[in-house]
Structure 1
Amino acid sequence: MSTSARPGWFRAFWRWHFYAAFLVVPVLLVLATTGLIYLFRFQLEPLMHADLLRVDQPADVDITQPYAVQQAAVERELPDSTVVAMTEPGGPDESTRFSVVRADGSGHDVYVDPWRADVLGSLDPDTTLSGTAVRLHADLMSGVWGDRLIELAACWAIVMALTGYFLFFKGRAARRRSRAPGARLRSRHAAVGSVVGLGLLLLLVSGLPWTGFWGAQAQQLATDRGGSLWSTDPGAISDPTSTLDESLPHSHAREVPWGMGKSEVPGGRGSASGESAGDGSRANVDTAVAVADREGLRHPVTVALPEADDGVFSVIGYAFDAPSQERTVHVDRFGGDVVSSYGFSDYPVLAKVVSQGIGLHEGRSLGLWSFWGAALMCVAVITSCVSGLTMWWRRRPAGSVGAPRGRMPVRSSPVLLGGLVVLGVLLPFFGLSLALVLALDLLVVRRVPWLSERLNAA
């Protein structure tokens, strides 16, 4: 590249970095803030709902009540609700959580004192602080349109990070010499961005599997064509319309490991042999927990209860801090036998990679290192967004948005063109939106003097 060409490249990348920020920064601020709240949910929620989440062990009691007894207490308290899942307490001072679906279809969490089997109360998980943060983080509480906007912003955030690195390395000398107003803020923005960039790219790529379009395609690729054990398990009677993530209320879908989220839930062997509720032994939630313990699942487990007579107890082992130990055991509701199991070792390669990436995204794969790393990354992203907005606000001229002038030298650079094509294929939302932006820039912005002047497109 000749020396004379460098300023054109620099301004072109600066222009795309600038315009990407208009879409990306508002979304990143929401994602980083809600992500920070979600990271600290285990510290915040017990403080806000101590009467439900915390219990005191009686001085004269050393044994907790069976889970079946606790479940019966919930069913007596809420006779019109259906218990769909149970999560064990994580410690002696924690309550047992039962997920229920009420007659109107809404999901609630009911908390039970495991020592006395007393119902403490209930919460709508969607209305808690962390629940609201999750809903905003997932789709801006706007359904499909919010999910699509986040996916689009994530694609352009990758572009913003890549162009930011180009600007960082090419503009080092200019930043050192500059004495212009705002130079110090610009240097700080560049320094923070140079650290944030790689972490942001990791968070964006690891978060894409949750998106409605890209994530759905990735999960289908990762779990189809034999990726699910149920397609080859001769002891399972699978209902093609019943999947593991549908065994829990929508609010609890995140408790299901990503790699098995679309795996079909097998039916019980007892139902296939003609047994019914009145024939032979009938297992309960305690049986399921005991069987899972014998199978080596880590505690505290979550148990999805059978939905029908031929259903099974799906016991999900605790793998919060170790995605490689994700495993679910399906227990027959009649004889208590293991119908089948599915875990990380059964995942195809893509599902293993994504599961580990999600663990890093949530700050839980590497203990406190990843937790505090994710927390600091959220703070750094917020700082970078605010400093970028401040720089723009200070330098914007009257009557213009203050966009840098310059065009991407796509025609003269096959490497750049190839990179854009690859990104467009891997990230369809980016490819489609890029084509739209280029068309608008060429056919509208540069041909309408008023727009061209204000957007510095000349």
Structure 2
Amino acid sequence: MTSNSSAQFQARRRSLLWRLHFWSALIASPFVLVACLTGLLYVFTPQIERAWHGHLDTVQPQSQVRSLDDAVAAARQAAPEGWSLHSVIPAFEPDDSVRVAFTAPMPDKAQGGGHGGHSGHGAGAGAAQGKPQFLRPNFGIPARAVVVYVNPYTAEVLGQLKESERFATWARKLHSSLQQGDGWRWMIELAASWTMVMLVTGVYLWWPRPGQSGLPQSSAKGRVAWRQWHAFLGVALGLVSFVILTTGLTWSQNAGNQIKWARDATGQTPPRIPAQFKSTVTEGAKPLNWEQALQAIRREAPSVSMMVMAPKGPEGVWRANQMDRGDPSKRFDLLLDAYSGQKLYYSGWADQTAFGKATAIGIPFHRGEFGVWNQVLLFVFGAGILFSLVSGWVMFFKRRAAGSSIWPVVLPDAWRSVSPWAWLGGAFMLVAMPVLAISAVPVALAEAWMVWRKSRAAV
């Protein structure tokens, strides 16, 4: 291939990718703007919660801590009548309060083993089919719960609050569904899917050609300067963008199911807690109280803030897992015998699959849970995304002001410039992100209509 034909080939390919980049920006921009603004708000959750809920979350440290049973008993007295105790988050830091969560009574058919029979939770139809049964993953306090906050030193009730009214819960729902429920989660999935296309095509369009550095030039003016900074910042933030997009897609409804299928098919399913464990009932033996259970759990578990769930029924077991996601290496799940405190099951960081470890790092990073440096990085990332959106539209209007077409021009035979690997990658993205595939249909129809219209005009 001569240098002239090679340049023409590259020009055709770039024109096609530029068109695709424009489409992805056109579709994703409004949703990305919303996700970015709500995400920037969510980044500062620790500071906002400290200001809004500090009177419930923190206490003045004292010399003597009361038994956890005293705190739970005080919480029961303050809890809504008829509500069931769901879990307890004991104080970890000296100024932490004790959080005791209660949930409303469930219909009889849904009560089953609760969290805690731990000996029937999730058994359902699978048990009748002879399939292994596992406990449902524990992701923290349910949004429907009411949490009673207790001073661990005095057993004084500090107050109570619906978990749905916590700022973190509100901000998370705002970011994921604009407070409209799961039926609106498709918006974030649509944004993430097309932003992934925008990222891939943007990197290719930026990639320096021979004799170019890819860095913004101080001599550049006008639309050229906007384009250089737009491309450079987009690529500079590319790694963070990829992590944010992929972790976001794991939570999505459609792409998330595809990711879970691939995870399970490749043997990367994280450890699951078998549901068959039961406590050994011994005549005359008394079950552990909350304080005894907590001490037994602390002997087996890493030193981290944790959630504890009590046994359900005589054969139920104590269950505990970490609450603080800021140190993934302390992730654990633990089951204890209700009478002896003997360890029945334990899985920790070493038991996680590579996928499990990646998500245990990626998801807290996405949420800014690794501390101030994580929050600062996400803030810079969010500001960079906002600049990319603004600069992209500035370039569009400057191009329109110069008399150019709304749509980037696709050169003749551009489709023939696509490599087999690019076709394969595109097919993979469509399969992995179903919302992308569905939304790509009207794009393809619009492109076909424009081609037909152009051909008619040429006749």
**Global fold match (TM > 0.5):** yes
Secondary structure class of the residue paired with 2:185: helix
- Equivalences for residues 245-260 of structure 1 within 5 A: 259=270
CA deviations over 1:138-172 (Å, ceiling 9, x no partner): 33333343223322321211110111112223696
Distance 1:2 1:178, change over 3 A: farther
| Closer, same or farther: CA 389–416 of 1 in aligned 2, 3 Å | same
Q: Retained in 2: the 8 A contact 1:411–1:417?
A: no
Cα shift at 1:217? 4.2
Deviation at 1:394, TM superposition (A): 4.8
Equivalent residue for 2:333, pick from 300, 303, 328: 328
**Deviates most, 393-402 or 367-376:** 393-402
Q: Deviation at 1:316?
A: 0.9
* CA apart distance, 1:436: 4.8
Q: Residue 311 in 1 paired to residue 316 in 2?
A: yes
Match of 2:183 in 1: 145
Amino acid at match of 1:157: T
Partner of 1:239: none
Structure 2 runs not aligned, ≥5 long:
107-142
Q: TM-score, normalised by structure 1?
A: 0.78
What's 1:244 paired with? none
Q: CA 1:144/1:36 → structure 2, altered by over 3 Å: closer, same or farther?
A: same
- Tell me the residue number matched to 1:70: 71
Measure how far apart 1:329 and its partner are.
0.9
Work out which of the residue numbers 151, 159, 163 in structure 2 matches 1:125. 163
**Cα-Cα RMSD:** 3.5
The aligned residue for residue 15 of structure 1 is 19
Contact 1:268 1:331 in 2 (8 A): no
Unaligned runs of 5+ in 1: 229-258, 454-458
Q: Distance in 1 between matches of 2:402 and 2:161?
A: 51
Whether 1:134 aligns to 2:134 is: no
Partners of 2:264 and 2:276 in 1: CA distance: 16
Find the aligned partners of 1:425 and 1:292 in 2 and give their Cα distance. Answer: 44
Query: Counterparts of 1:49 and 1:97 in 2: how far apart (Å)?
Result: 12
- 1:59-458 correspondence to structure 2 within 5 Å: 61-78=62-79, 79-103=81-105, 106-169=144-207, 181-219=222-260, 222=263, 259=270, 263-270=273-280, 273=281, 279-317=284-322, 320-364=325-369, 369-396=373-400, 402-406=406-410, 409-413=414-418, 414-442=420-448, 444-448=449-453
Identity %: 26
Partner AA of 1:203 in structure 2: I
Q: 1:319 to 1:129 in 2, by over 3 A?
A: closer
Structure 1 CA distance, aligned partners of 2:48 and 2:155? 25
CA-CA distance at 1:381 after TM superposition: 1.8
- Is the 2:247–2:359 Cα contact (8 Å) retained in structure 1? yes
Give the total of aligned pairs: 411
- Partner letter of residue 158 of structure 1? M
Q: Partner of 2:24: helix, strand, or coil?
A: helix
Task: Report if aligned partners of 1:21, 1:160 keep a CA contact under 8 Å in 2.
Answer: yes
User: Residues of 1 paired with 2:404 and 2:99: CA distance?
Assistant: 56
Q: Could you tell me the TM-score, scaled by structure 2's length?
A: 0.77
CA contact (8 A) 1:10 1:170 kept: no
Whether the 8 Å contact between 1:101 and 1:108 is mirrored in structure 2 is yes
> How far apart are 1:201 and its partner, in Å?
1.2
